[in-house]
Structure 1
Amino acid sequence: MKSNRKAPSKENRADFLKQFQSCFFSTSRPALFPWNLLEKDLESSKSSQLILDVLNQTCLHPHCKKFPPSARYRKYFLGELIRRVEAADCEPLDQLYDALGEVLSAQEGAEGYRTFLLPCGGTVSLLENLALISEGTTGLVTWDAALYLAEWALDHPQTFAGRKVLELGSGLGFTGVTVCRSCSPSKYVFSDGHGSVLRRLEDNVRLNRLFQEETPPEVSVEELDWSNVTEQHLDAIDADVVIAADVVYDPDIVPVLVQLLSRILRRKCGRVLPDVFICSTVRNRQTYEGFTKQLGDAGIGHRVISEAVSHVFEYEPASELELIKLYLR
């Protein structure tokens, strides 16, 4: 059955191209691209002009030269464009085949860039591994919980504005770079405990020029071993806000995480308690409920933050996402 959606009008053409650009640079799944609108335009106009416009916002965009998605992804994307041009019997477009030739000659590596467009007009660019698990860790890719937590932060900048933020298990740094770019914290500490992740995290923070900015926030990347972090280290960070995304996935590390969260919540007793937010992809309900039970056993309550979050980034979570705020009982 044919779609009844119309080709993009002049009024919404910019939004259409922006969606293609956002999906392409964030290496989104095929279903998230507005292919129907593109096909309608090709069928009605028999012109490749819209394809050229799409190319100029994706593979031919200057950002793609500097931070290209993987060669494998660009090859897939150009193949989809060519398939639709040929199906609509449109005029050939040399730039399209030239771009494909360039990608076919490129060496396929184990890494690629992902770039996310921010509402403020800025971007977050990250170098990621293509494999979900590499170098003995899952921390070299960006997971859905980090995207969701960043979207919540964009909706609640007042939670971070002028405050000192500690992120546990920062991974590649997506949430933190977004908060630094859009929410005006006074200080931001990225942290992780895996050597390979820390090296890539520092590279990505540098890639996004956070170390070079003269205005706040003050930014650092620190190794934080949850089982051995000292009170002196926590005192030096002196966080007003603590966040973490996708850190509840292994039942073996949950007790150590809960112990650390308990220490963080209790170290400011008698003063203002830090705000602590944990965002999780609930892949295994038993593991997640084990985490919340251990929180309760440690005298820590939690409130599920259930209000709607503005959808900013191009992704569709494969599992349930849950954001909770912790408090001492």
Structure 2
Amino acid sequence: MAQPELELRFQRRFLAARQLRSFPWAELERNLRASPGSSLLADILHQTILHPLCVKYPPSTKYRRCFLAELIKKHESTAAEPLDELYDTLADILNEEESTHCYKNYLLPTGESVTLSESVAIISGGTTGLVTWDAALHLAEWAIENSAVFSNRTVLELGSGIGFTGIAICKTCSPKTYIFSDYHHCVLKQLTENLRLNGFVLEPGTTQHIQTESQGQEAEATNHQTPKLVVAELDWGSVTEKQLLDLQPDVIVAADVVYDPEITSALVGVLQKLSTLSADRKPPEVYIAFTIRNPDTYHLFQVELDKVGIGWQIIPAHSNSIFPYDMQPNVTILQLFV
């Protein structure tokens, strides 16, 4: 493998904090043995731990420590001259405090990146919504390949989590308005922080409730910005048809929201409300991505959709692999017809 390509694979995986076992270590070792005096290791160090994005928004301390230990092991196995920079960098990281939050950086085809502050733990604050799941990456890849679906349109995302899919769509697909929605207060707080991290300007008190009729309009990002961003607290169990109608979405997306039978029926309830709104205007296009962990849950979702007369079809797999995965996930995207 050519060195620049190998460096890029290390960079993309490292910045997104993918599992270390998914890195091309064997190729690195072969390259190092073939040319022990090369600058490859130093280059990888500068493309990863010393990369400006990582310096500003680093993965967890433990992750960087383990990555460096692996690099040092590969370096020492080739009997090359000691590389002081590797050991100096490790010494710096060993002196750092561990944090409950870390950053992940995903590189976009535009040259920009999506930076996310995430919880180090998969379950935190009583929710799984504080980390990014594979279906969100998959949906964003599909969106980038099909940007015309979103261009100059109002997009509502159900269960936005900490914002990966929406931020990627806002940076690459030119929507007119993007409505991020979720219900858990910790998730909404983290989502709002991630929007700011990515350069979107939000007015103070941006997260509003839309589950009660008396509330005003949801708060929006400052007007001069394109797309216009809205962060909404949305309770699937109690949201009314009128509140959904007020949002006027042209497109609805969701990632990894089909994993629990109870949540599934609430989600179908929201979709059913949306389908009753479409009599006097064009119905929104709906795209839902999910990892099939349990075939029964997936089947239940299809049965519930059939019960309320919502049609569905599987979207063909997309060809572009933009984001690094630990392993290729079993993700499906359904288009629903409400």
TM-score interval, smaller chain: over 0.9
- Residues 43 and 88 in structure 1, CA contact (< 8 A), matched pair in contact too: yes
Q: 1:39-118 alignment to 2 at 5 Å?
A: 39-47=29-37, 49-118=39-108
| Equivalent position to 2:236, from 226, 229, 245 | 226
* Counterpart for residue 168 of structure 1: 158
- Give yes or no for the alignment of 1:239 onto 2:249: yes
State the shift of 1:48 in Å.
5.4
State the shift of 1:13 in Å.
2.8
Q: Which runs of 5+ in 1 are unaligned?
A: 1-7
- Residues 69 and 113 in structure 1, CA contact (< 8 A), matched pair in contact too: yes
Return the letter of the residue paired with 2:156: L
State the shift of 1:254 in Å.
1.4
- Give yes or no for the alignment of 1:154 onto 2:154: no
Mapped partners of 2:109, 2:74: distance in 1? 30
Mapped partners of 2:329, 2:7: distance in 1? 29
* Counterpart for residue 188 of structure 2: 198
Q: Structure 1 pair 277/119, CA: closer, same or farther in 2 (3 Å)?
A: same
- Residues 181 and 231 in structure 2, CA contact (< 8 A), matched pair in contact too: yes
3-state SS of 1:252 partner? helix
Q: 1:286-297 alignment to 2 at 5 Å?
A: 286-297=296-307
- Residues 75 and 103 in structure 1, CA contact (< 8 A), matched pair in contact too: yes
Mapped partners of 2:330, 2:36: distance in 1? 42
* Counterpart for residue 260 of structure 2: 250
Mapped partners of 2:195, 2:111: distance in 1? 18
Mapped partners of 1:254, 1:96: distance in 2? 49
Return the letter of the residue paired with 1:257: L
- Residues 48 and 93 in structure 1, CA contact (< 8 A), matched pair in contact too: no
Mapped partners of 1:317, 1:103: distance in 2? 28
CA shift digits 1:14-66 (9 cap, x unpaired): 22222111110001122432223321221122225111101111111111121
State the shift of 1:209 in Å.
1.1
Normalised by the length of structure 1, the TM-score is 0.93
- Residues 48 and 91 in structure 1, CA contact (< 8 A), matched pair in contact too: no
3-state SS of 1:253 partner? helix
Runs of at least 4 residues of structure 1 off by over 3 A?
Answer: 212-215, 316-319
Q: Which moved more, 1:246-255 or 1:213-222?
A: 213-222
3-state SS of 2:74 partner? helix
State the shift of 1:223 in Å.
0.4
- Residues 178 and 227 in structure 2, CA contact (< 8 A), matched pair in contact too: yes
3-state SS of 1:219 partner? strand
State the shift of 1:211 in Å.
2.3
Mapped partners of 1:137, 1:86: distance in 2? 42
Return the letter of the residue paired with 1:56: H
- Residues 191 and 224 in structure 1, CA contact (< 8 A), matched pair in contact too: yes
Return the letter of the residue paired with 2:98: E
* Counterpart for residue 127 of structure 1: 117
Q: Which moved more, 1:178-187 or 1:229-238?
A: 229-238
* Counterpart for residue 127 of structure 2: 137
Q: How many residues were matched structurally?
A: 318
Return the letter of the residue paired with 1:69: P
State the shift of 1:243 in Å.
0.3
* Counterpart for residue 300 of structure 1: 310
Q: Which moved more, 1:44-53 or 1:182-191?
A: 44-53
State the shift of 1:287 in Å.
1.2
* Counterpart for residue 276 of structure 1: 286
Mapped partners of 1:307, 1:175: distance in 2? 17
| Equivalent position to 2:320, from 310, 313, 316 | 310
3-state SS of 2:313 partner? strand
The share of aligned pairs that are identical, in percent, is 44
Normalised by the length of structure 2, the TM-score is 0.91
Return the letter of the residue paired with 1:15: E
State the shift of 1:232 in Å.
3.5
3-state SS of 1:14 partner? helix
* CA RMSD of superposed structures (Å): 1.5
3-state SS of 2:262 partner? coil
Q: Structure 1 pair 231/197, CA: closer, same or farther in 2 (3 Å)?
A: same
- Residues 3 and 40 in structure 2, CA contact (< 8 A), matched pair in contact too: no
